[in-house]
Amino acid sequence: MELTVNGEKHQIDADENMPLLWALRDLLQLTGTKFGCGAGLCGACTVHADGMAIRACLTPVKAVAGQQITTIEGLSSAGDHPLQEAWIKHNVPQCGYCQAGQIMTAAAFLEKNPSPSEADINQAMSGNLCRCGTYPRIKAAIKDAAA
């Protein structure tokens, strides 16, 4: 099966029902995408498929074959996506575990809604959990990146 990830085509030897998260982490060594709950509840595994934020833990590879998959490693060429720069400026992460998923959700959201209200941000980010409680800094960084 062929997967296109961060602009590169990869042949993977996997059952078509393998979760995309396993293919990214275990077969392609793209470990920026994290396993949190494995049940679609936390958002740590968020990546993009054709620009849409999806949960890689719940997505079988067959569902995204032929789509452009983007992980945190491919969001920008040099870690300089406006959200990544805002994340650094606002010193967002604490433990950091959920942050790739947070940024990928925010990036897909800002593509669709470049000038969001506070309520829009709250709604868009409500499915991404952070046990360290970095939510205020996440929201500040998104507002900054959107400005």
Count of residues in contact with ligand FES, rule CB under 6 A: 12
Residue nearest to ligand FES as judged by C-beta position: 57
Query: Element (H or E) spanning 82, and its range?
Result: helix 82-89
| Residue number with CB closer to ligand FES (82 or 135) | 135
- What's the one-letter identity of residue 78? A
55 binds ligand FES per the rule CB under 6 A: yes
35 binds ligand FES per the rule CB under 6 A: yes
Tell which residue, 5, 1, 2, has the closest CA to residue 68: 5
**From 22-30, 39-47, 75-83, 87-95, span contacting ligand FES (CB under 6 A):** 39-47
Rounded CA gap, 89 and 138, in Å? 11
Rounded CA gap, 140 and 50, in Å? 27
Query: Element (H or E) spanning 47, and its range?
Result: strand 46-49
Tell which residue, 114, 12, 119, 110, has the closest CA to residue 61: 12
Tokens of 106: 């925010």
| Residue number with CB closer to ligand FES (46 or 84) | 46
| Residue number with CB closer to ligand FES (55 or 90) | 55
Whether the Cβ atoms of residue 47 and residue 70 lie closer than 8 Å to each other: yes
At its nearest, how many Å lie between ligand FES and the CB of residue 127?
A: 8
40 binds ligand FES per the rule CB under 6 A: yes
41 binds ligand FES per the rule CB under 6 A: yes
Candidates 30, 36, 121, 138: give the one binding ligand FES (CB under 6 A): 36
Give the residues lining the site for ligand FES (CB under 6 A).
Answer: 35-38, 40-45, 55, 57
